[in-house]
Structure 1
Amino acid sequence: MPYHLHIEPSGHEMGCDNDETILEAALRHGFNIPYGCRNGTCATCKGRILSGEVDYGKVEEKVLSAAEKASGLALFCQATPLSDVIIEVREIGAAKDIQIKTLPSRVAKIVDLAPDVRALFLKIPITERLQFLPGQYIDILLKDGGRRSFSLANVPGDDALLELHIKKVPGGAFTGHVFGALKEKDILRFEGPLGTFFIRQESTRPLLMVATGTGFAPIKGMLESLFAQGSIRPIHFYWGVRHAEDFYCHDLLSEWQSRHDHFQVTRMVSRPDASWSGATGYVTAQVIHDFPDASAIDAYICGHPDMVFSLSDALQGAGLNPEHIFADAFVFAKAKTS
């Protein structure tokens, strides 16, 4: 028998089956609440239980501490109801009319961007369109039931070809396939669009955008959309990599800088060699150095989980309300069990 789920402050109400998470129930009923990885790792879906009982699921202490549980917080991608529940969470209205689809796609083009980064361009059936918001991601569905999440690097108007940036992971089965046997015209199935990492259009605050590695992919889509809209919100983009050869899209970044006076880029290398003459170190330290008072910005952060978590904490320490921090930590999504 389903439990009753009530969302504050919107007042939305729905049924929640006793074997589904609060996030699954909300999405099933068309109510969009913040989420990212859906496996209890990124903490994007953290919200408050105002009344009722839940099973918190398997979550690590660093993501949801015992003290946070005691204060009523839960990860809605993991929490399942044990009674009727009232929760408090900020809903995302911009994605409410976007349909999540499962579609086949054909590999139309493979492009090497950097020594360990490839762009896949996927063509969906001519009878289909994929509506999404710049910054969202899709899950590639594997034959063994697993899935791999990759951000969309293009903008919605270019959905005839979906652009993914894929970094080779040592020992990674799927990325090994991408850098090995995968060829043009191969078929890949995916589900999407997913996630709540996209620009909040209602805000006029300056934008801080930070990426490590292929975290540039969703940022690229966001920036292209903002420029196309004619937005003049000040933007400072920080991009951190280990080695200088890990950077890519050099011409595109140069074009953006030359055309948009309100756009600034800081590229950083954490393991430089003698040929690199730019900024060195880690983006977290540099951002906090440049923004000792971060209270007036909107921050969009994407990439390695360690960077995402540390920078989020540091920005809050610099005065930024967490409601103005939007993040996508790159973690593996679990295989569905049903």
Structure 2
Amino acid sequence: MSYRLRIEPSGHELDCDSDETILEAALRHGFNIPYSCRNGTCATCKGRLLNGTVDYGDTEEKILSTAERNAGLALFCQAIPLSDVAIEVREIGAAKDIQIKTLPSRVSKVMDMAPDVRAIFLKIPATERLQFLPGQYIDVLLKEGGRRSFSLANAPGDDALLELHIKRVPGGMFTDHVFSTLKEKDILRFEGPLGTFFIRQESTRPLLMVATGTGFAPIKSMLESLFAQDSIRPVHFYWGVRHAEDFYYQDLLNEWHSRYAHFRVIQVVSRPESSWSGATGYVTEHIMRDFPDVSAFDAYICGHPDMVFSLSAALQEAGLSPEHIFADAFVFAKTKTS
């Protein structure tokens, strides 16, 4: 059984099966709407339900507040239609011609970057190319049927090896494998590219880029792409970690800082040792102190959900329109059961 889905304000119409989410239906028909985690946590896909009814199963109370439901808001990565529906959401055109593929890859290299961070470099078949936008991610497909999402850290024009930054998660099935048994020449399957967290090339606004932990991965892809294009948009990059030893790619950051006069990096440590002489505390505090007026920026935020949500809210309170805030909260993707 299928229902009719209308997307406003574009007026696009499509069929949505009764067992798929609104997001899945939109992507299947080639219409890109904002999304990231796909499990109802990051809220990137939140939009307005104009007409019709949807179902969230047993998770509704966990993913939408009563006030949000009363205001007609919906999370399209979880909402399954119960009737014909009309939604209001901003469509994104830049990714419309990029093909989502499922590909095998061979682990070409594994590198320790920080005490709890490893980079793995994946080589895809020579007959394939993975076209993607800087900031997008792939889902590594697990043998047990699950999937884990990781941002691509390399620039799109340098896709001979796909670079992923993986942080050890205590008890995490896949990260335990990466840090204990994964080795060069192992085969991994993935699906991608995915997500709508990518640079909006048409903008000329200065950039506020913010990461915590391995949220640096998509920021690295974005920055390498901008530098390769000789972009002169001012970039203020804030990177927060718990301990100074959690920073990695320090030589690359130093190179960018010395080469590009329009690039500024601020590294912030929340649990500093006595040897750390740089900024301390949390990136949100430093950003709001450094920029009382943020209305002129495009903001790209990636990392821990608490930081992403709190900074997004703080930026809006300081005058930055939501249409200029692009975010990716790092959470596990939901295991597909069918």
Q: Same fold (TM over 0.5)?
A: yes
Match of 2:109 in 1: 109
Amino acid at match of 1:127: T
Match of 1:272 in 2: 272
Q: 1:6–1:85: 8 Å Cα contact kept in structure 2? A: yes
Return the alpha-carbon distance in structure 1 between the equivalents of residues 6 and 58 of structure 2. 23
Amino acid at match of 2:5: L
Question: Could you report, residue by residue, the CA deviation over 1:172-229 in whole angstroms, capped at 9, with x for unpaired residues?
Answer: 1111111111110000111111100001111111110000000000000000001111
Q: 1:41–1:59: 8 Å Cα contact kept in structure 2? A: no
Match of 1:3 in 2: 3
How has the CA–CA distance of structure 1 residues 284 and 91 changed in structure 2, closer, same or farther, with 3 Å as cutoff? same
Match of 1:202 in 2: 202
Match of 1:223 in 2: 223
Answer yes or no: is 1:175 the counterpart of 2:171.
no
Amino acid at match of 2:204: T
C-alpha displacement at 1:54, in angstroms? 1.4
How has the CA–CA distance of structure 1 residues 231 and 59 changed in structure 2, closer, same or farther, with 3 Å as cutoff? farther
- Percent identity over paired residues: 83
Match of 2:66 in 1: 66
Return the alpha-carbon distance in structure 1 between the equivalents of residues 135 and 85 of structure 2. 31
Match of 2:212 in 1: 212
Match of 1:50 in 2: 50
Match of 1:126 in 2: 126
Q: 1:269–1:282: 8 Å Cα contact kept in structure 2? A: yes
Return the alpha-carbon distance in structure 1 between the equivalents of residues 116 and 53 of structure 2. 46
Match of 2:36 in 1: 36
> How big is the alpha-carbon RMSD for the aligned residues of Structure 1 and Structure 2?
1.1
Q: Please give the secondary structure, in 1, of the residue aligned with 2:157.
A: helix
Amino acid at match of 2:141: L
Amino acid at match of 2:149: S
C-alpha displacement at 1:307, in angstroms? 0.5
Q: Please give the secondary structure, in 2, of the residue aligned with 1:109.
A: strand
C-alpha displacement at 1:77, in angstroms? 0.3
Match of 1:233 in 2: 233
C-alpha displacement at 1:320, in angstroms? 1.0
C-alpha displacement at 1:64, in angstroms? 2.4
Question: Could you report, residue by residue, the CA deviation over 1:243-262 in whole angstroms, capped at 9, with x for unpaired residues?
Answer: 00000101111111111111
Q: 1:56–1:74: 8 Å Cα contact kept in structure 2? A: no
Return the alpha-carbon distance in structure 2 between the equivalents of residues 118 and 80 of structure 1. 37
Return the alpha-carbon distance in structure 1 between the equivalents of residues 308 and 61 of structure 2. 17
Amino acid at match of 1:243: H
Return the alpha-carbon distance in structure 1 between the equivalents of residues 336 and 246 of structure 2. 33
Q: Please give the secondary structure, in 2, of the residue aligned with 1:156.
A: coil
Return the alpha-carbon distance in structure 1 between the equivalents of residues 58 and 135 of structure 2. 27
* Runs of 4 or more consecutive aligned structure 1 residues displaced over 3 Å after TM superposition: 56-63
Amino acid at match of 2:120: L
Q: 1:56–1:75: 8 Å Cα contact kept in structure 2? A: no
Match of 2:98 in 1: 98
Q: 1:305–1:329: 8 Å Cα contact kept in structure 2? A: yes
Match of 1:164 in 2: 164
Return the alpha-carbon distance in structure 2 between the equivalents of residues 193 and 114 of structure 1. 26
Q: Please give the secondary structure, in 2, of the residue aligned with 1:67.
A: helix
Question: Could you report, residue by residue, the CA deviation over 1:293-314 in whole angstroms, capped at 9, with x for unpaired residues?
Answer: 1111111000001111111111
How has the CA–CA distance of structure 1 residues 128 and 307 changed in structure 2, closer, same or farther, with 3 Å as cutoff? same
C-alpha displacement at 1:61, in angstroms? 5.5
Q: 1:133–1:198: 8 Å Cα contact kept in structure 2? A: yes
Listed as ranges, the gaps of 5+ residues in structure 2 are none
How has the CA–CA distance of structure 1 residues 264 and 57 changed in structure 2, closer, same or farther, with 3 Å as cutoff? farther
Return the alpha-carbon distance in structure 1 between the equivalents of residues 258 and 26 of structure 2. 43
Return the alpha-carbon distance in structure 2 between the equivalents of residues 292 and 69 of structure 1. 33
Listed as ranges, the gaps of 5+ residues in structure 1 are none
Answer yes or no: is 1:142 the counterpart of 2:142.
yes
Question: Could you report, residue by residue, the CA deviation over 1:57-102 in whole angstroms, capped at 9, with x for unpaired residues?
Answer: 4556675211111111100001111111111110110000111111
Amino acid at match of 2:310: S
Q: 1:212–1:241: 8 Å Cα contact kept in structure 2? A: yes
C-alpha displacement at 1:163, in angstroms? 0.2
Q: Please give the secondary structure, in 2, of the residue aligned with 1:126.
A: coil
Q: 1:42–1:63: 8 Å Cα contact kept in structure 2? A: no
Amino acid at match of 1:15: D
Match of 1:254 in 2: 254
